[in-house]
């Protein structure tokens, strides 16, 4: 993975000093909260329901053992002993004090971590595929290009006061594990006539008006993708709406101009930018690509795994994916124990995961946008020992992509923007479906829950999506079906009138039982049954 | 319904309630700010030491005020899914 | 009231804060800052002899490209500092070859100065005076920059590879 050189370190250290001074000015009342708020947001510090929440960046979801240990230390020293992994591969702490934030950021900087641009109207964390560097289906590891984007977008002087936040995702395979069509810019690394380049989507997003992105470029050589992104951002900065925060994302601009006109404007801007030599030189690409070289694989390890322990076998079948290197596997650590809080991990669990990454996974951990963690390079021979350790710590729930592997935003339990709580809904659904045989019978089913229209739980992209709303001061929930964040991107559709919390859990069960009745067989996924038959059988089951 | 004045302490982010004399971590000690509330809110805003000050409606109960909205009740008591994290010191 | 994470609408916001007349223009140019009249873009025409024009956030900076040689000052208004359109205007003008005074006016805080310098601003007319010591500290804060802009500073990748 990428390691800072003296320039990267100097920049992060300077940012820590800058923020320390800004906090001091605020605490001395030299600047108002109105003046200070965008500055603290650009350092990832939100004021939430109970305290300040800090969102620490995990660039493209990759971190090392020592970095994970630091995150555990932060949880203990500055927070309440736990953290929450998010749908953009970052980590959030919920109980931070403003006065301590500069020291916290200084500690993070010692392990090459930061909270730069994890909030505010600027370019946010670049997200990527949690299987990058290990998946057999990728053209090349997308993360060097995510790293180049991270550097290019950090403290970009022209794009730090955008109309709204800006989210970019990068993948390198046809199978989309990062929901790139639901990002402001989605980049897929492709090969054309032997040359590496990107296919570019613009204008995807969720929130109040979910939209799927439009392809603005079928192919741009890697040598030019940064200046091309510059052109996209400039068009957005100049023409994105600033009169209404609910219409300020680039997706609205693309929608209002039309994809063709938007593309024409971007191409015209790029024609002016391209000659200015803004793109990094080949030597810089080579330098960064080299830092994502394959781990030193043991090429003599056996490919077979002893499935004797039935609990281990269940975890193996559900949570472990094939690796491009024989003898290796990709293991997903579930942060979705039934009845637990999706995406949360204690400091002790983080320390354990750091140890396991060092012992078994070449010291590398990934965060997924489904709020789980991944060890991407595990020898098959080590899987049993890994599983045993995870199981003892409550991290081996064998439910990846099953009905209890729910994505839920923090919701009204934590978030100042929420209308309703989302975590209790996730817990009740998971408890209802806790039986593993039942989960296997249902098969792949992605439930996503958001506590408000901002859709941080990605409910528009859920096979089953649940949105919390405020109904005359009471929490209520809308049910939607048929969304997908994968390469077959689609937006979930509302099924009918809303429910109470208990009602929506029952409704989900009715939907699932209806699916079991009308599917062609156990091999047909819920999503495919819905796409084949439409909403009618589910409406009938839920509303009679 | 009574009106409470609430906000978050600048330095710590802690949720606090006006108890008549000072800012208090305990919802149960919050007082009805009554018609003085708007002036108090304006003064609080101008002082720039309490973030997001706001007047919230509540019902008086034997155990202290109960805010009308779920949001304010969660602010007062802590996350419903982590009752072990009740913020108010014992 | 919620801590709305994103800006409230800035378009059609209140007019720019009145510049404190006693606040001098902060200039990084050799020679004095331009002090003549400045006309709005709408009043600026090809036949005008005006040497100074003001761009509001919604104005298209490229309208000025044919006239750059005759301009001594372009003032870019920032009625609300969160409205970042002026940063693109500035950089566009420098990319088009403008070498005259490029001034950021209005809601300008010391926290924006270094980005503004990077996109090509070389003078500032803030609504409220800036502390010169803080300005200097802000400009010296970041020894390195990641990307090319309009200030000629070498991005880190150029330093890495010569």
Nearest C-alpha neighbor of A123 from the set A59, A181, A178: A59
Q: Are residues A184 and A70 in the same domain?
A: no
Q: Are residues A271 and A161 in the same domain?
A: yes
C-alpha span between A163 and C7 (Å, rounded): 8
Of A289, A324, A349, which closes a domain?
A289
Question: Quick count: other Cβ atoms within 10 Å of Cβ A417?
Answer: 21
Has residue A297 been placed in a domain? no
Which residue has tokens 């409230």?
Answer: C8
pLDDT band at C2 (very low <50, low <70, confident <90, very high): very low
Which chain B residues contact residue C2 at CB under 8 A? 52
How does pLDDT run across A52-92, given as a tens digit for each residue? Answer: 999 999 999 999 999 999 999 999 999 999 999 999 999 99
Q: Are residues A285 and A321 in the same domain?
A: no
Q: Does C1 touch chain A (CB under 8 A)?
A: no
The total number of structural domains that make up chain A:
4
What pTM, to 2 d.p., does this model score?
Answer: 0.95
Has residue B90 been placed in a domain? no
- Per the prediction, chain C carries an average pLDDT of 88
Q: What percent of chain B has pLDDT over 70?
A: 94
Nearest C-alpha neighbor of A112 from the set A63, A75, A51, A183: A63
Q: Are residues A240 and A344 in the same domain?
A: no
pLDDT band at C130 (very low <50, low <70, confident <90, very high): very high
Q: What percent of chain A has pLDDT over 70?
A: 100
Nearest C-alpha neighbor of A434 from the set A503, A340, A349, A360: A340
Write down the pLDDT at residue A472. 86
Has residue A375 been placed in a domain? yes
Full domain range(s) for residue A216: 142-289
Interface of B with A in 37-56 (CB under 8 A): 48-49, 51-52
Q: What is the residue extent of each domain of chain C?
A: 26-161
The answer on pLDDT for C5 being more than 80 is no
Torsion of CA A66, A69, A70, A72, to 10 degrees: 170
Helix (H, G, I), strand (E, B) or coil at A541: helix
If one looks up domain C26-161 in CATH, what number appears? 3.40.50
pLDDT band at B90 (very low <50, low <70, confident <90, very high): very low
Whether residue A432 contacts residue A504, with contact meaning beta carbons closer than 8 Å, is answered with no
Write down the pLDDT at residue C45. 74
Helix (H, G, I), strand (E, B) or coil at A67: helix
CATH number for position A456: 3.30.413.10
How does pLDDT run across A288-347, given as a tens digit for each residue? Answer: 999 999 999 999 999 999 999 999 999 999 999 999 999 999 999 999 999 999 999 999
- Mutating which of A40, A119, A158 best tests the C interface, going by the most C Cβ atoms within 10 A? A158
Helix (H, G, I), strand (E, B) or coil at A43: coil
Q: Residue C4's closest chain A neighbor by CA?
A: A417
C-alpha span between A171 and B47 (Å, rounded): 48
Has residue A324 been placed in a domain? yes
How does pLDDT run across A381-416, given as a tens digit for each residue? Answer: 999 999 999 999 999 999 999 999 999 999 999 999
Which chain B residues contact residue C3 at CB under 8 A? 51-52
Write down the pLDDT at residue C8. 52
Average pLDDT over every residue of A197-217: 96
Pair of tokens at residue A533: 């038959």
Contact between chains at A80 and B14 (C-beta distance less than 8 A): no
Contact between chains at B15 and A50 (C-beta distance less than 8 A): yes
Write down the pLDDT at residue C49. 74
The answer on pLDDT for C11 being more than 80 is no
CATH number for position A388: 3.30.70.3340
Q: Are residues A149 and A269 in the same domain?
A: yes
Which residues face A364 on adjacent strands?
A: A64
Q: Are residues A68 and A173 in the same domain?
A: no
Question: Quick count: other Cβ atoms within 10 Å of Cβ C6?
Answer: 19
Helix (H, G, I), strand (E, B) or coil at A23: helix
Which residue has tokens 């109980």?
Answer: A95
Contact between chains at B70 and A475 (C-beta distance less than 8 A): yes
The answer on pLDDT for C7 being more than 90 is no
Has residue A132 been placed in a domain? no
Q: Does A34 touch chain C (CB under 8 A)?
A: no
How does pLDDT run across A426-473, given as a tens digit for each residue? Answer: 999 999 999 999 999 999 999 999 999 999 999 999 999 999 999 988
Which chain A residues contact residue B12 at CB under 8 A? 51, 97-99
- What DSSP line would sit under A300-347, residue for residue? T--------SHHHHHHHHHHEEE-SSTTEEEEEEP---TTS-TTEEEH
Has residue B55 been placed in a domain? yes
Write down the pLDDT at residue C21. 55
Name which of A29, A50, A427 is nearest B48 (Cβ-Cβ): A29
The answer on pLDDT for C65 being more than 90 is yes
The answer on pLDDT for C19 being more than 80 is no
Has residue B36 been placed in a domain? yes
Cα distances from A345 to residues A162, A257, A537, C113, in angstroms, run 33, 44, 39, 40
Has residue A103 been placed in a domain? yes
Write down the pLDDT at residue A328. 97
The total number of structural domains that make up chain B:
1
Q: Are residues A325 and A365 in the same domain?
A: yes
Full domain range(s) for residue B51: 2-85
Q: Does A106 touch chain C (CB under 8 A)?
A: no
Find the radius of gyration of the CA atoms of chain C: 16
Has residue B26 been placed in a domain? yes
Has residue B31 been placed in a domain? yes
How does pLDDT run across B46-87, given as a tens digit for each residue? Answer: 999 999 999 999 999 999 999 999 999 999 999 999 988 866
Q: What percent of chain A has pLDDT over 90?
A: 98
Average pLDDT over every residue of A32-51: 93
Contact between chains at B71 and A98 (C-beta distance less than 8 A): no
Q: Are residues A195 and A250 in the same domain?
A: yes
Q: Does B53 touch chain C (CB under 8 A)?
A: yes
pLDDT band at C162 (very low <50, low <70, confident <90, very high): confident
Partner chains of C (3+ C-beta pairs under 8 Å) = A, B
- Per the prediction, chain A carries an average pLDDT of 97
């Amino acid at each position: 993975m990428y390691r800072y050189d003296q320039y990267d370190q100097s920049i992060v250290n300077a940012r820590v000093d800058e923020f320390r001074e800004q906090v001091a000015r605020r605490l001395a009342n030299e600047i108002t909260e109105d003046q200070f708020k965008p500055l603290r947001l650009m350092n990832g510090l939100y004021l939430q329901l109970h305290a300040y929440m800090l969102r620490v960046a995990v660039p493209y979801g990759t971190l090392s053992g020592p970095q994970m240990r630091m995150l555990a230390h932060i949880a203990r020293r500055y927070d309440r002993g736990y953290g929450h992994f998010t749908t953009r591969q970052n980590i959030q702490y919920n109980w931070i004090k403003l006065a301590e934030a500069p020291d916290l950021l200084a500690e993070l900087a010692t392990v090459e971590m930061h909270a730069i641009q994890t909030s505010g109207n600027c370019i946010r964390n670049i997200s990527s595929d949690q299987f990058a560097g290990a998946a057999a289906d990728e053209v090349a590891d997308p993360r060097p290009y995510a790293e180049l984007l991270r550097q290019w977008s950090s403290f970009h002087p022209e794009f730090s006061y955008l109309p709204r936040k800006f989210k970019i995702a990068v993948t390198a395979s046809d199978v989309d594990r990062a929901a790139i069509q639901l990002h402001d810019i989605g980049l897929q690394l492709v090969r054309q006539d032997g040359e590496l380049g990107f296919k570019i989507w613009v204008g995807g997003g969720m929130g109040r008006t979910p939209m799927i992105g439009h392809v603005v470029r079928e192919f741009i050589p890697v040598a030019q993708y940064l200046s091309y992104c510059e052109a996209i951002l400039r068009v957005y900065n100049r023409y994105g709406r600033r009169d209404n925060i609910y219409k300020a994302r680039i997706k609205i601009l693309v929608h209002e101009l039309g994809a063709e006109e938007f593309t024409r404007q971007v191409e015209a801007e790029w024609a002016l930018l391209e000659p200015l030599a803004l793109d990094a030189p080949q030597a810089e690409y080579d330098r960064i690509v080299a830092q994502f070289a394959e781990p030193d694989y043991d090429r003599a390890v056996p490919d077979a795994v002893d499935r004797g322990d039935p609990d281990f076998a269940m975890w193996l079948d559900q949570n472990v994916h094939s690796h491009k290197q024989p003898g290796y596997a990709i293991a997903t650590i579930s942060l979705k124990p039934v009845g637990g809080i999706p995406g949360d991990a204690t400091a002790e669990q983080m320390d354990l995961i750091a140890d396991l990454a060092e012992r078994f996974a070449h010291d590398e951990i990934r965060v997924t946008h489904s709020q789980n963690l991944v060890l991407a390079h595990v020898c098959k021979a080590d899987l049993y020992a890994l599983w045993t350790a995870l199981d003892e710590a409550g991290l081996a729930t064998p439910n990846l992509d099953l009905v209890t592997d729910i994505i839920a935003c923090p919701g009204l339990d934590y978030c100042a923007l929420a209308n309703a709580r989302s975590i209790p809904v996730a817990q009740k659904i998971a408890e209802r479906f806790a039986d593993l045989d039942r989960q296997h019978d249902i098969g792949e089913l992605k439930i996503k829950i958001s506590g408000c229209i901002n859709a941080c739980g990605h409910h528009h992209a859920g096979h089953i999506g649940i949105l919390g709303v405020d109904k005359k001061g009471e929490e209520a929930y809308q049910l939607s079906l048929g969304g997908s964040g994968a390469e077959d991107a689609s937006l979930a559709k509302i099924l009918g009138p809303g429910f109470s919390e208990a009602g929506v859990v029952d409704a989900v069960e009715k939907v699932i039982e209806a699916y079991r009745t009308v599917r062609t067989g156990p091999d047909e996924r819920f999503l495919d049954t819905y796409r084949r038959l439409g909403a009618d059988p589910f409406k009938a089951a839920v509303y009679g | 319904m009574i009106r409470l004045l609430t906000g978050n302490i600048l330095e710590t982010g802690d949720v606090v309630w006006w108890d008549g004399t000072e800012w208090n971590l305990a919802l149960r000690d919050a007082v009805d700010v009554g018609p003085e509330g708007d002036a108090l809110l304006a003064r609080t805003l101008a002082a720039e030491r309490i973030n997001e000050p706001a007047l919230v409606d509540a019902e008086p109960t034997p155990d202290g005020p109960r805010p009308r909205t779920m949001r304010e009740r969660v602010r007062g008591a802590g996350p419903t899914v982590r009752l072990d994290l009740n913020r108010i010191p014992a | 009231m919620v801590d709305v994470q994103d800006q409230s609408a800035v378009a059609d916001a209140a007019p720019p804060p009145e510049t404190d007349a006693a606040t001098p223009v902060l200039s990084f140019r050799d020679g004095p800052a331009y002090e003549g009249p400045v006309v709005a873009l709408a009043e600026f025409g090809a036949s005008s002899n005006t040497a100074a024009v003001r761009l509001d956030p919604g104005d298209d900076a490229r309208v000025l490209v044919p006239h750059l040689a005759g301009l001594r000052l372009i003032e870019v208004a920032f009625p609300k500092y969160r409205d970042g359109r002026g940063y693109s205007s500035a950089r566009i003008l420098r990319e088009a070859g403008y070498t005259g005074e490029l001034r950021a006016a209005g809601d300008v805080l010391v926290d924006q100065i270094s980005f503004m310098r990077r996109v090509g601003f070389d003078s500032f007319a803030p609504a409220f005076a800036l502390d010169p010591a803080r300005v200097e500290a802000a400009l010296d804060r970041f020894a390195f920059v990641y990307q090319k802009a309009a200030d000629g500073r070498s991005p880190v990748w150029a330093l890495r590879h010569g």
